Amino acid sequence: MNIIITGASRGIGFETALLFAKQNHQVFCLTRNTKSIEKYNNQKIHAIATDLSNTKSINQAVVQITNKVSHIDVLIHNAGSLINKPFENINYEELERVYKINVFAPYYLTQQLLPILGKTSKSHIVTISSMGGFQGAAKFPGLTAYSSSKAALVGLTEILAEELKDRNISVNCLALGAVQTEMLAEAFPNYKAPLTSSEMASYIYDFSINGSRFFNGKILPVSSTTP
């Protein structure tokens, strides 16, 4: 299978990429920092330096991918930007940065990849949202930019599933609870999450391969606690 994962330089994306590669799938990792991926020197992993906040950079990544393969089986929108700051202190540039990574990039990248999605077999697009963007879940102060952007990603998932269902493409969203990642540690230094990156990666790996058989347009909470 041919897989694309954004934000694969660390955390959940990194661990998920390694799982796919270990199972002999071809993985394209779109991330700003490629060093952590490249050091594995695995021929199944293609690290593509990509600034997901920049459309030109995304276009260049798409060209590199389409020059190598003619079909993508799984597209995982994993890259995320998080800022922990009171609502009144978040400036426009910070808000824009979060939305560019969490919402605009999944929208635009999917759009540019449509010619190689769902062509020879079903493609599965998996968006990685958060319980912070899941309706009715507990919300936390300081995360207005992050949680609202993840809620927007939930809406994007639902409408994409409807628009793309006749193109042999399924689109689902995993709303993750707290996972012990570098991004979480940077935003909440004293918080200890109940799950590790590798544990969540294992779940995402299995869902990416099998989830489209059972779901389309669904927002699935992946959390060990009930808000």
Structural domains of the chain, with CATH? 2-222 (3.40.50.720)
The pLDDT of residue 21 is 94
The pLDDT of residue 184 is 52
The pLDDT of residue 193 is 56
Residue type, 65: I
Are residues 128 and 77 in contact, defined by beta-carbon separation less than 8 angstroms?
Answer: yes
Burial class for 43, CB neighbours closer than 10 Å (0-12, 13-18, 19+): exposed
If you count DSSP H runs as helices and E runs as strands, how many of each does the chain have, helices first?
Answer: 8, 9
Residues of the chain with pLDDT under 50: 185, 187, 194
Provide the whole-model pTM: 0.91
The pLDDT of residue 68 is 96
Sheet holding 219-222, edge to edge: 45-49, 26-31, 2-6, 74-77, 123-130, 169-176, 219-222
Catalytic residue annotation: 146
The pLDDT of residue 148 is 95
